Amino acid sequence: MHRRRLLQGLSAGVMASVATPELARARAQLEQAAAAGLDWRLALADLDADVPRTPMRRISGHAPSGLAGSLYRNGPGKFHRPGGSAGHWFDGDGLMRAFRIEDGQATLEARFIDTPKRRADTAAGAVVTVGFGTPARPGAIVRSADDANAANISVIPVGGELWALWEAGSPTVVNAGDLSTKGIKTLRPDLAHMPFLAHPRPDPGGDIWNLGVSGQKAVVWRVGRDGALRSASLVDLPMASYIHDFSATTRHLVVVLQPWVQDRNFQTYADSMTWRPELGAKVLVLDKTDLSRRRVYDLPAFFAFHYGAAWEEADGTIRFDGCLTTDPSFAIETGRTIINGIWSPEAAVTLTMFALHPDGRAVIEPTGVAAEFPRTDGRMSGAPRRYTIHATAVGGSPLFHGLAVHDWKTGRSDRYDFGPAHLVEEAVFVPRPGGAAELDGWLIQPSVNLRAKATELHVFKALHVAEGPICTWRADRALPVSLHGAFVPA
Amino acid sequence: MLRPSLPAVRAAAVAVALAAPVCLFSSDALAQAQIQAQSPAQGTASLVLTFHGLKAGGGAVMASLAGSPDAFEGKAPAAAQGMVAVAGDTVTITFSGLAPGRYAVRAFHDLDGDGKLGLNPFGVPTEPYAFSNNARGSMGPPSWDAAAFDVKDGDNAQTIEID
């Protein structure tokens, strides 16, 4: 049954066009996976109700002593309603998960974030609220962006609470203990409903830097660790690009502007954008101490969602990495189809190093390594670093099957591939108590085990990924894959 | 590809909701309503506006009564303007001496007492606002047709939810 439906999806999505060797290979992979009873759609299925805290079962290895705390993860968890469904993966209701590790045991719980959007959609029995790729339906009440705020991309711990982040509206405050929703965080009354991206950059000094983007303007947020606003300033951007993430060194904010630009008003965000590769990409570098001091670099066109933390070398060269692809087709098409069970092979997303030289030259150096969801050792943020953690290993389905740590010094990729039965989520680094060296600690990474139909949590030694997980716990059910998380030590 | 067919472009499109600036009120006509209900005192009709659901105490509700689509869009003077201090969750504003006809109301809760509808730097209101008929736009004001109502000789009333 699954196999037939997969192939139906494939024929609708792909086979209408001319068959190529890549498509034939993808079709073969799909057939193989379906025959093996592996249905990737499990990882993108709706969760209908909150999941109370439930023990996970340890199925291999042992938790390292010293690993204790909570991994909070956020991402869309419900897409379909009887009267009409979300039109994009990015428009599902925010679902906060907590994996809690203590005394070698792990538990899992999940709770939907109680947003005005979720309340309106629930009351209507349909997804009526406009989104990234979902048009408004009758009954929508959107007085400001926060009425459309799905709070569904990421989570950061701030001042003892959790902030669930979207990117076009305010943070949503969530209780770290029971994952209940406290409400919208207004950083200052006159700045209500301003956009706040899902990927803030912490300063070594403790402050959190972030952007909020509206067309060719951005607000630069600086927030204390206690959640109090330190400053908010407006800056002009060279292009009205889609900005999901940015980077920062100790001294600079590094804002990549890709040529997917907003050039018209339209019902959905994605439809207001146009891919204009002829414009190329730009990188705006802002001095944190004086935002009027800026520099703009030019690069050829590419598309990316995510970047790694930047650093500055002795000669002033700024380096950072990103996960680059050729165009925004995931944002425009794939993100729409996969929640309806339709997927076709995507262009490669490649780990790529940027170098911004003091003489104004900008260079990108692709590694050839498939990569998404880059993370780094947060203790290094803004300072020189050697490693990037990322999801890797693609084929046969959306998302990724493996984990890697890329060593920029040697060019070596230390990787582990779970194979087609697992769709992995972003891995998060947890420092070993008492350790200080980069990546002295563990990587913790959930996956959806398609064969067992269950969410798992894996622990790796961060510098020995290829050895495989040193501990794995399995939940009694599969949750939809999440996007981004944060670990809070016990 | 499942890209939906493209719906008609609206002036206040929701792309705006997600990124672009929006200005709900195209002029400051409403913001200028700093005096107590000021009515033309030439007609035979009166109108009581009742505002319900005020959650935040303090400040004032400011209302602008438009007698034409242009006035509703802030391109022509309002027929009357009113302001009342907020105490509790309900307030009323009364206009008298109105000429019978078709009218629409724009109102906001002036929480900070500056006499203006607060807008964030990207032009989105930071203070609660509402319209007659409880009409709602999608990331923009509703149309005149959605907000307009008849005022007849004698007593008239409108109840508006705000906050």
A345 interface with B at CB cutoff 8 Å? no
Higher pLDDT, B15 or B110: B110
CB-based contacts of A290, cutoff 8 Å, min separation 6: none
Write the DSSP assignment of A150-165 as a string of letters. ---SEEEEETTEEEEE
Is 70 exceeded by the pLDDT of residue B7? no
pLDDT at B57: 81
Q: Do A143 and B136 touch (CB under 8 A)?
A: yes
Cα A200 to chain centroid, rounded: 12
B29-76 residue pLDDT tens: 333 333 345 555 578 999 999 999 998 888 999 999 999 999 999 999
A220-267 residue pLDDT tens: 999 999 999 999 999 999 999 999 999 999 999 999 999 999 998 877
Q: Beta B154-161 vs B45-52: how paired, if at all?
A: parallel
A185-208 residue pLDDT tens: 999 999 999 999 999 999 988 899
Polymer length of chain A: 490
Which amino acid, one-letter code, is at A80?
H
Chains A, B: CB pairs < 8 Å: 126
Q: What is the CATH number of domain B29-161?
A: 2.60.40
Q: What is the mean pLDDT of residues A266-279?
A: 93
A25-63 residue pLDDT tens: 556 666 666 777 899 999 999 999 999 999 999 999 999
Lookup: tokens for B106: 């724009």
Q: Do A141 and B136 touch (CB under 8 A)?
A: yes
The verdict on residue A237 lying in a domain is yes
Q: Which of B7, B17, B19 sits opposite A142 (nearest CB)?
A: B17
A88-103 residue pLDDT tens: 999 999 999 999 999 9
Q: Which of B3, B4, B9 sits opposite A265 (nearest CB)?
A: B9
Residue of B nearest to A343 (CA): B1
Is residue A480 within 8 A of residue A463, CB to CB? The reply is no
The verdict on residue A31 lying in a domain is no
CA distance A198 to A219: 14
Is 70 exceeded by the pLDDT of residue A158? yes
**Residues of chain A found within 8 Å of residue B9, distances taken between Cβ atoms:** 264-267
Q: Does the predicted interface ipTM exceed a cut of 0.85?
A: no
A336 interface with B at CB cutoff 8 Å? yes
Of the pLDDT bands very low, low, confident and very high (cuts 50, 70, 90), residue A482 is: very high
A213 interface with B at CB cutoff 8 Å? yes
pLDDT at A319: 98
Q: Which of A141, A194, A265 sits opposite B15 (nearest CB)?
A: A265
∠ CA A65-A70-A72, rounded to 5°: 145
Among A385, A381, A366, A246, which Cα is nearest to A313's? Answer: A385
CA distance A172 to A175: 10
The verdict on residue A305 lying in a domain is yes
Q: What is the DSSP letter of A41?
A: G
Share of chain B above pLDDT 70, in %: 74
Per-residue b or e along A292-301, where b marks 16 or more CB atoms closer than 10 Å to that residue's CB: eebeebebeb
Is 90 exceeded by the pLDDT of residue A5? no
CA distance A157 to A174: 10
A72-84 residue pLDDT tens: 999 999 999 999 9
Find the CATH number of the domain harbouring A362.
2.130.10.10
CA distance A428 to A438: 14
Is residue A197 within 8 A of residue A223, CB to CB? The reply is no
Residue of A nearest to B118 (CA): A190
Q: Do A265 and B16 touch (CB under 8 A)?
A: yes
pLDDT at B136: 86
Q: Do A262 and B19 touch (CB under 8 A)?
A: yes
Q: For residue A402, how many other CB atoms are within 10 A of its CB?
A: 20
Share of chain A above pLDDT 70, in %: 93
Is 60 exceeded by the pLDDT of residue B23? no
Of the pLDDT bands very low, low, confident and very high (cuts 50, 70, 90), residue A2 is: very low
The verdict on residue A28 lying in a domain is no
The verdict on residue A7 lying in a domain is no
CA distance A55 to A140: 39
A337 interface with B at CB cutoff 8 Å? yes
Q: Do A194 and B120 touch (CB under 8 A)?
A: yes
Lookup: tokens for A316: 């002033």
Residue of A nearest to B112 (CA): A189
- How many domains does the structure of chain A reveal? 1
Q: What is the mean pLDDT of residues A157-183?
A: 97
Higher pLDDT, A139 or B6: A139
A459-472 residue pLDDT tens: 999 999 999 999 99
The verdict on residue A364 lying in a domain is yes
A366 interface with B at CB cutoff 8 Å? no
The verdict on residue A3 lying in a domain is no
Q: What is the mean pLDDT of residues A140-155?
A: 93
A407-464 residue pLDDT tens: 999 999 999 999 999 999 999 999 999 999 999 999 999 999 999 999 999 999 999 9
A463 interface with B at CB cutoff 8 Å? no
Q: What is chain A's mean pLDDT, rounded?
A: 93
Of the pLDDT bands very low, low, confident and very high (cuts 50, 70, 90), residue A382 is: confident
Is residue A445 within 8 A of residue A425, CB to CB? The reply is yes
A282-298 residue pLDDT tens: 999 999 999 999 999 99
CB-based contacts of A197, cutoff 8 Å, min separation 6: A165, A167, A210, A211, A212, A213, A243, A244, A245, A246
Phi/psi for B69 (5° steps) reads -55, -40
Nearest-neighbour CA in chain A from B76: distance (Å):
24
Q: Which of A190, A268, A272 sits opposite B118 (nearest CB)?
A: A190
Which amino acid, one-letter code, is at A447?
S
Q: Do B126 and A215 touch (CB under 8 A)?
A: no
**Residues of chain A found within 8 Å of residue B129, distances taken between Cβ atoms:** 143
pLDDT at A9: 35
Q: What is the mean pLDDT of residues B83-97?
A: 94
Is 90 exceeded by the pLDDT of residue A151? yes
pLDDT at A152: 98
Is residue A313 within 8 A of residue A325, CB to CB? The reply is no
Of the pLDDT bands very low, low, confident and very high (cuts 50, 70, 90), residue A400 is: very high
pLDDT at B39: 58
Is residue A319 within 8 A of residue A371, CB to CB? The reply is no
Is residue A347 within 8 A of residue A304, CB to CB? The reply is no
Share of chain A above pLDDT 90, in %: 88
- Extents of the domains making up chain B: 29-161
A229 interface with B at CB cutoff 8 Å? no
Of the pLDDT bands very low, low, confident and very high (cuts 50, 70, 90), residue A23 is: low
Which value, in Å, is the radius of gyration of the alpha carbons in chain B? 16
Q: Do A266 and B6 touch (CB under 8 A)?
A: yes
Q: Which of B7, B112, B122 sits opposite A135 (nearest CB)?
A: B7
**Residues of chain A found within 8 Å of residue B2, distances taken between Cβ atoms:** 87, 333, 336-337, 340, 342
Which of A80, A130, A153 to substitute to test the interface with B, most B CBs within 10 Å? A130
Residue of B nearest to A138 (CA): B138
**Residues of chain A found within 8 Å of residue B4, distances taken between Cβ atoms:** 87, 135
Structural domain containing residue A371: 38-489
Residue of A nearest to B125 (CA): A144
Is residue A443 within 8 A of residue A415, CB to CB? The reply is no
Lookup: tokens for A151: 């709070």
Q: What is the DSSP letter of B26?
A: S
